[in-house]
Amino acid sequence: MDTRLSEEIKRLTALGLHRRCVEGDLARVAGLTLEINRLKKERNAVVCAHVYQTPDIILGIGDLVGDSYKLADDCRRTEADAIVFCGVHFMAETAKILNHSKKVYVPSSNAGCSLSEGITAADVRQLKAEHPGLPVVTYINTSAEVKAESDCIVTSANAEKILRRMYERHKAVIFVPDRFMGLNLARALGKIPGKDIFLWKSSCVVHERFQPELIDVYRKKYPGLVALAHAECPSELIKAVDFMGGTGDMMRYVESTNAAAYLLVTECGFGELAKLRFPEKNFIAMCRLCPYMKSITLESVLALLKDPAPREVLVPEAVAAKAKVAIDRMFELAAG
Ligand code: 13P
Ligand code: SF4
């Protein structure tokens, strides 16, 4: 075997990837990661990987890894000429908005998001006309055009904090597009939907379907279990768990606690990564796959690096400039 390939197999094995590969598949993965990492250097490209990506992508080729907030923040600082976004399209668009002079790419044409696709800029203008004077607080899972119509962007990592800041100045807000996240935030802040917070109707196809009644079934089966759920889950489920947050908050919670077992109610990639990061802890995954996130593979990243042009993410300059104001407002309020 080629020495570079056997070195790559050793590197991936040290990261624990052999435990996530079927028999004999590690050599195929190593061949791909080797070539991708070589092309990355040649093109001065950086790979951003969201935690819902598969471990071969995150550990094998990821340079910047994390939740939506961390990836957006990291992208602001990168010195690479090109950003290859292993995540969904709105995340790549956000990277482009924050780095308009850089090339940004997404490896799949199917990397959408049900939340992002559930609302248009015209819908936001309509909401503003119905509730004049109210600020529009928009979840990052939206298109650049929707962001451009917004006053402030939030992610699951900072939505509660930023909404609190907003309520210091405004009696009510418009929150789009995730209805469940909006209801969960309203409950956490003691606000009344339809009076203090006006919501849109979209939801995440992955998180909307988890069944709250199963949480108790798991608790009985695994004594000492701690249940964590993403803030995009329906409120009935959130009421049944011990912790609600974004993926970054959930990972930090796992890292800083020592429960008998963790039930992770979110996309399956999160649990796969948690098992690799904390092999000594017990994880029970009540998970579903996101078809958009999972449309990205090592093969699609390699194809992109060989022929990037078709996968370039473009945002018109005027839209990017307006959207950036709302994203920068998030960075300012999240840090303050
Ligand atoms: P996080 O920002 O919590 O990683 O969430 C992104 C997402 O799309 C969750 O479904
Ligand atoms: Fe969008 Fe849901 Fe997939 Fe996250 S998990 S990218 S919110 S569809």
* pLDDT tens figures, 144-198: 999 999 999 999 999 999 999 999 999 999 999 999 999 999 999 999 999 999 9
Angle at 122 between CA 121 and CA 124, to 5 degrees: 65
Say what the pLDDT of residue 336 is.
79
Superfamily of domain 114-203: NadA-like (3.40.50.10800)
Cβ of residue 154 lying under 6 Å from some atom of ligand 1: no
Say what the pLDDT of residue 23 is.
66
Residue 175 bridge partners (DSSP): 137, 199
Say what the pLDDT of residue 287 is.
96
Rounded distance between C-alpha atoms, residue 95 and residue 68, angstroms: 10
Mean pLDDT of the chain: 96
Say what the pLDDT of residue 21 is.
72
Burial 106-124 (b: 16+ CB within 10 A, else e): bbbeebbbbbbbbbebebb
Indicate the pairing of strand 173-176 with strand 45-50.
Answer: unpaired
Asked whether 227 and 233 are in contact (CB, 8 A), the reply is: no
Q: Which CATH number is 3-112+294-311's, of 3.40.50.150, 3.40.50.10800, 3.90.1150.10, 3.30.70.100? A: 3.40.50.10800
Beta strand spans in 20-176 (E): 45-50, 64-66, 82-86, 103-105, 136-139, 152-154, 173-176
Instruction: Give Cβ neighbours of residue 233 (< 8 Å, ≥ 6 apart).
Output: 180, 184, 207, 208, 210, 244, 265
Q: What is the pLDDT of residues 223-280, one digit of tens each?
A: 999 999 999 999 999 999 999 999 999 999 999 999 999 999 999 999 999 999 999 9
Q: Can you tell me which atom of ligand 1 is nearest the CA of 231? A: 3
Ligand 2 mean position to 22 CA, how many Å?
27
Asked: is 207-289 a CATH 3.40.50.10800 domain? The reply is yes
Ligand 2 mean position to 292 CA, how many Å?
7
Mean pLDDT of the 117-138 span: 98
Considering only CA atoms, which residue is closest to atom 8 of ligand 2? 113
* Domain ranges across the chain: 3-112+294-311, 114-203, 207-289
Mean pLDDT of the 204-221 span: 96
In terms of Cα–Cα distance, which of 316, 300, 319, 318 is closest to 308? 300
Ligand 2 mean position to 265 CA, how many Å?
13
Rounded distance between C-alpha atoms, residue 212 and residue 232, angstroms: 13
Whole-number percent of the chain with pLDDT over 90: 96
- Continuous H helices in 78-221: 89-98, 114-117, 121-130, 144-148, 159-169, 179-189, 213-221
Question: By three-state DSSP, how is residue 198 classified?
Answer: strand
Cβ of residue 114 lying under 6 Å from some atom of ligand 2: yes
Q: How confident is the model at residue 20 (pLDDT cuts 50, 70, 90)?
A: confident
Cβ of residue 8 lying under 6 Å from some atom of ligand 1: no
- Structure token pair of residue 258: 């020592």
Q: Can you tell me which atom of ligand 2 is nearest the CA of 267? A: 5
Ligand 2 mean position to 91 CA, how many Å?
11
Say what the pLDDT of residue 18 is.
85
